[in-house]
Structure 1
């Protein structure tokens, strides 16, 4: 097991370097000049050229890439052109909100998706199976921005049950406030996160439910299940301890992949619900051609995605010994 962990960690190093190179290369082909955006349309070509020299935009691409690597190794992600603050400071100020929303959506998607998949598998061919898979197909087909608007219209505008925009207190702070006798803070935080989390969780919940159903049906046909029934074990115990435990192995990998997708989907969801995370920051940085900030955000998303998949690989090896023996 230790050797497997070391191999995975060593593979993460060239992967991280590759992500830095790809991120840098993508920004080279983005149209628009940050110096022109910063100085405005009335600026003279000479002023724009002087600012480009000051920002290092006229340096050769390989020199800029090397300088960026050196900065990253020293813990510096650069300076935002428009906000005139360290990129790392800006991202850290918004990262917590995005991770909070993505984790909440992933928890909802996992619980709902696994429950729907299990129920659909054990009631295969019934009306329950048909209804469950209909909602799963609906979740896959509906765009996140459209579902966000529908949820906002229904629960915020028409019913007035939940707020439509903004964020309450961070969930860790809200939980502590509830423990210390202020449950209203927790409710306010949960009420703000519920709608964007539901909108963001619909597609992964549908995918997880369909995969769980397929995996459960395969496990139910295995010989060890018939053996368990022949030993006189009750059906709930067979389903939970034998079938579901083995059926969740492929689902575990998908959950890790979907977390990375949730980070990308959060850009749209955060914009619709005015959630103060990296999504809004990304749109603002792109509109301003703030290259260092865009570079830092994209790299942050990529590193989180890679780290989550690394954790999933390690968990998969813990659950299934055949992985680390291969």
Structure 2
């Protein structure tokens, strides 16, 4: 197991280098000039060119890429052109909100998706199974921004049950407040995150439910399940302890991929609900052509995605020894 972990960790090095190169290359193709945006339309060509020289934008691409690699090795992600602040500090101030939203959305997606998938597999032909598959189809086909607007219209505008925008106290702090006798703080924080988390989780919940249903149908036909029924075990115990545990194995890797998708979907979700995370920051950075900040955000997303998939691979290897022997 240790050798497998070391191999997977070493693979992160070329993967991270590839992420930096791809990100840098894509930013070269983005239209627009940061110097022109920063100085405004009335600026002269000479002033724009001087600023480009100061920012290093006139240097050849390979020199800029080499300088960026050298800075990254020292833990420096550069400085934001517009905010004149270290990119790492800006990202650190927003990363917690995005991770919080993505984790809550992933928990909701797993709870909803696994529950609906099990119901659809164990109650084939019933109204519950049909309803769960309709939800799965809607969840896959409905864009997150459209679902977010519908949820906001229903629960915030029409019913007035939940706030439509903003973020309350961070959930970890709200949990501590609830433990120390301030449950209102926790409830307020929870009310702010429900709508964006639901909007973000719907697509992943739909995909997980379909995968769980398919996997459960295959497992329920296996001999060990029939043997468990023959031993007189109750249906609920057979489904949960025997069938579901085996059916979730192929779903584990998909859940890791869905976390990456949730980070990507956070860009739209945070913009709709004014959630102060990296997604909202990404839109601002792109509109301002803030190249160092865009590079830092994309690289951060990519590294988180790689680390999550590494954890999923290790969990999968721990559950199935055949993986680490390959």
Identify the TM-score tier after normalising by the shorter chain. Answer: over 0.9
Distance (Å, rounded) in 2 between the aligned partners of 1:261 and 1:53? 37
Distance (Å, rounded) in 2 between the aligned partners of 1:196 and 1:77? 29
2:17 maps to which residue?
Answer: 17
Query: Comparing 160-169 with 133-142, which one deviates more in the overlay?
Result: 133-142
1:311 maps to which residue?
Answer: 311
Deviations 1:44-82 (A, max 9, x none): 111111111110011111111111011111010000000
Distance (Å, rounded) in 2 between the aligned partners of 1:238 and 1:277? 42
Distance (Å, rounded) in 2 between the aligned partners of 1:30 and 1:20? 16
Q: Does 1:290 align with 2:290?
A: yes
2:226 maps to which residue?
Answer: 226
Distance (Å, rounded) in 2 between the aligned partners of 1:8 and 1:124? 40
Give matches, 1:181-192, under 5 Å. 181-192=181-192
1:243 maps to which residue?
Answer: 243
Query: Comparing 118-127 with 14-23, which one deviates more in the overlay?
Result: 118-127
2:270 maps to which residue?
Answer: 270
* TM-score normalised by L of structure 1: 0.99
Task: Please report how far the alpha carbon of residue 298 of structure 1 lies from its aligned counterpart in structure 2 after TM superposition.
Answer: 0.6
Query: Comparing 226-235 with 64-73, which one deviates more in the overlay?
Result: 226-235
Distance (Å, rounded) in 1 between the aligned partners of 2:166 and 2:129? 37
Deviations 1:103-130 (A, max 9, x none): 0000000001000001110111222211
Task: Please report how far the alpha carbon of residue 230 of structure 1 lies from its aligned counterpart in structure 2 after TM superposition.
Answer: 2.4
1:200 maps to which residue?
Answer: 200
Task: Please report how far the alpha carbon of residue 3 of structure 1 lies from its aligned counterpart in structure 2 after TM superposition.
Answer: 1.0
Distance (Å, rounded) in 2 between the aligned partners of 1:234 and 1:36? 70
Taking only aligned residues, the RMSD between alpha carbons, in angstroms, comes to: 0.8
2:141 maps to which residue?
Answer: 141
Task: Please report how far the alpha carbon of residue 227 of structure 1 lies from its aligned counterpart in structure 2 after TM superposition.
Answer: 2.1
SS at 1:258 equivalent: helix
Distance (Å, rounded) in 1 between the aligned partners of 2:280 and 2:128? 40
* Structure 2 spans left out of the alignment, 5+ residues: none
2:159 maps to which residue?
Answer: 159
Deviations 1:171-210 (A, max 9, x none): 0100011111111110110000000001100000000000
Q: Does 1:42 align with 2:49?
A: no
2:56 maps to which residue?
Answer: 56
